[in-house]
Amino acid sequence: MDQPERPALKRLYIETYGCQMNVYDSERMRDVLAPLGYAPSDRPDDADLVVLNTCHIREKATEKVYSEIGRLRAHKERRAAEGKGMTIAIAGCVAQAEGEEIIARAPAVDLVVGPQAYHKLPELIARAARKSGERLAADFTAQEKFDALPARAPDGVSAFLSIQEGCDKFCTFCVVPYTRGAEYSRPLGDVLGEARALVEKGVREITLLGQNVNAYHGGEGGFAGLLRALAQIEGLVRLRYTTSHPIEMSDDLIALHGEEEKLMPYLHLPVQSGSDRILKAMNRKHDGAFYRRIIERLRAARPDIALSTDFIVGFPGERAQDFEDTLALVRDVGFASAYSFKYSPRPGTPAAAMMAQVDEAEKSERLARLQKLLSEQQRAFNEAQIGRVLPVLVTGQGRKPGQAHGRSPYLQAVHFEADAAPGAVVAVRIEAASQNSLAGARAASATEAA
Ligand code: SAH
Ligand code: SF4
Ligand code: F3S
């Protein structure tokens, strides 16, 4: 009997740059392309379709995209000589911000697709294959995208869930309001539905994503209301969220950190600078005292909460004293982890046109001093866990039998000795700490893991 003809297996390679929103979007692109017969590949050279999911946040991030396109062009030419095709798609924030420029500058690129148009990928790919019509799709709304994407296939016990896109804050250094558009919150019911489906498929930890996740307003009770509703889902054991804005830390949300056990004691709360003058020029809408007060109240609600943040050094007009104010804030707060960057002027943003740009060498020197202090704090925070018993969510097994790895409540990677299945929460006695992870062994009883 004749078998119905199955579509030939095609290979898909996605390279993801930038923030977790992009990691989430890449996952969704894989889902949307699976029904077309695309199976994931881990290398670009043998792929039928290569997607670069790009980031526009700093100049270096953008440059990487053009050099990667150059490398892909060589693969594409080699494959063409072998009679095989390769479709190159540029997605993400560079696609949104510089779509026209990519089309003009890089003929090897078959299509450019902005972050709100991923549900259109099958159609765009078909059109590119026929070499007809549009190479650029960057004109949709976040709502259209979420409504049109298919169900997800999570591949682990910990998953991202995007609940909000875009930003209306317009910090003067930042491209996000331009590349991701206006703030949009997904309806509460949709978020709960996606969360339940993830948990049914084995997910135990959900990290809610958004550029301003705590500004969520898709249902009654705002962001804290959403967290409360999610915490009701049986089988879901851990909740996290990123990234938050200090001015959106509501009383309700702060209180919830002390009340809801599923909400993990870790918060990424970008401050950017410790200088009030610079914060004002950045249009951050908060000063150093406001930030310190939020931290104090969070610690009152949840004394062991671990804090993480972002800094920009060398913002236009930053003087030596402003930078000292940043170091003082770091010393006062004490961070478990942090990201810090040299200011990078982004075309079209207000700060790029400011007169007093800081010298590159000065930026580098300040960044090195700041990072030294931050990494000392991170190491001290990790070392402070030695001797404690922590509840660790197992995310996978190690190379040898009897080894496993997972995450502490404070988002530290933990490697430990135990036969433990992914998805379980086990008590681990911490015996060693390094800059980036902890090591230990299973403790006698899970009840010790408080
Ligand atoms: N929505 C988040 C993060 C946005 S981008 C927030 O509001 O905090 C992530 C980080 O990149 C920012 O927190 C900032 O520290 C950094 N960043 C953004 N634009 C930058 C620029 N032009 N130069 C250097 N760093 C930048
Ligand atoms: Fe960018 Fe500021 Fe919006 Fe964060 S809050 S995404 S830094 S504009
Ligand atoms: Fe980069 Fe876009 Fe995220 S610019 S940081 S990928 S929102």
Is the C-beta atom of 18 inside 6 A of ligand 3?
yes
Q: Output the pLDDT for position 318.
A: 97
Q: Give me the pLDDT at residue 277, please.
A: 98
Evaluate whether 128 touches 135 at the Cβ level (below 8 Å): yes
Task: Report the CATH number that the domain containing residue 409 is assigned in CATH.
Answer: 2.40.50.140
What Cα–Cα distance (Å) separates residue 365 from each residue in 135, 329, 371? 43, 18, 10
Task: Tell me if 55 CB under 6 Å of ligand 3.
Answer: yes
Residues 292 and 412 in one domain: no
Among 277, 284, 303, 191, CA closest to 245: 284
Instruction: Tell how far the Cα of 57 is from the centroid of ligand 3, in angstroms.
Output: 6
Judgement on whether residues 208 and 164 belong to the same structural domain of the protein: yes
Q: What is the pLDDT of residue 135?
A: 62
Residue 136 CA to ligand 3 center (angstroms) comes to 19
Q: Are residues 194 and 295 in the same domain?
A: yes
User: Considering the domain boundaries, does residue 1 fall inside one?
Assistant: no
Burial 38-68 (b: 16+ CB within 10 A, else e): beebeebeebbbbbbbbbbbbeebbebbeeb
Q: How many residues does the chain have?
A: 450
CATH number at residue 19: 3.40.50.12160
The model's pLDDT over 140-177, given as tens digits with 9 standing for 90+, comes to 677 777 777 776 667 789 999 999 999 999 999 999 99
Q: In whole angstroms, how far apart are CA 248 and each of 116, 200, 223, 326, 334? A: 25, 31, 9, 21, 21
Q: What pLDDT is attached to residue 447?
A: 47
3-state secondary structure of 6: coil
User: Could you give the residue ranges of the DSSP H alpha helices within 306-418?
Assistant: 320-333, 360-383
Q: Is the CB of 176 under 6 A from ligand 2?
A: yes
Whether residues 85 and 178 fall in one domain: no
The answer on 363 and 242 residing in a single domain is yes
Give me the pLDDT at residue 6, please: 53
Pair 39, 119 in one domain: yes
Query: Is the residue at 263 inside a domain?
Result: yes
pLDDT tens for each residue of 376-410: 999 999 999 999 999 999 999 888 888 999 999 99
For ligand 3, say whether the CB of 92 is within 6 Å of any of its atoms.
Answer: yes
Whole-number pLDDT of residue 445: 60
Domain count, the chain: 3
Instruction: Indicate which CATH number applies to the domain containing 308.
Output: 3.80.30.20
Q: Does some domain include residue 447?
A: no
pLDDT at residue 75, as a whole number: 94
Residue 272: per-residue pLDDT = 98
Q: Is 52 in the pocket of ligand 3 (CB under 6 A)?
A: no
Instruction: Give the domain-ending residue among 139, 165, 196.
Output: 139
Are both 176 and 325 inside the same structural domain? yes
Mutating to test ligand 2, I would choose from 58, 211, 344 the residue with most ligand atoms within 8 A of its C-beta, which is 211
Single residue among 335, 364, 383 that ends a domain in this structure: 383
* CA terminus-to-terminus distance, the chain: 62
Q: In the beta sheet, which residues pair with residue 87? A: 49
List, for residues 170-182, the tens digit of each pLDDT value: 999 999 999 999 9
- Residues 285 and 396 grouped into a single domain: no
Alpha carbons 261 and 249: distance in angstroms, whole number: 18
Q: What is the pLDDT of residue 298?
A: 98
Q: Is 245 in the pocket of ligand 1 (CB under 6 A)?
A: yes
Domain with 68, as residue range(s), is 10-139
Question: Same structural domain for residues 119 and 52?
Answer: yes
Indicate if ligand 1 lies below 6 Å from the C-beta of 343: yes
The reply to whether 79 falls in a domain is yes
Query: Can you list the residues of the chain whose pLDDT is less than 50?
Result: 1, 132, 446-450
Kindly state whether residues 135 and 152 are assigned to the same domain. no
Is there a single domain that holds both residue 341 and residue 411?
Answer: no
Claim to verify: residue 83 and residue 205 sit in the same structural domain = no
User: Is the whole-model pTM more than 0.95?
Assistant: no
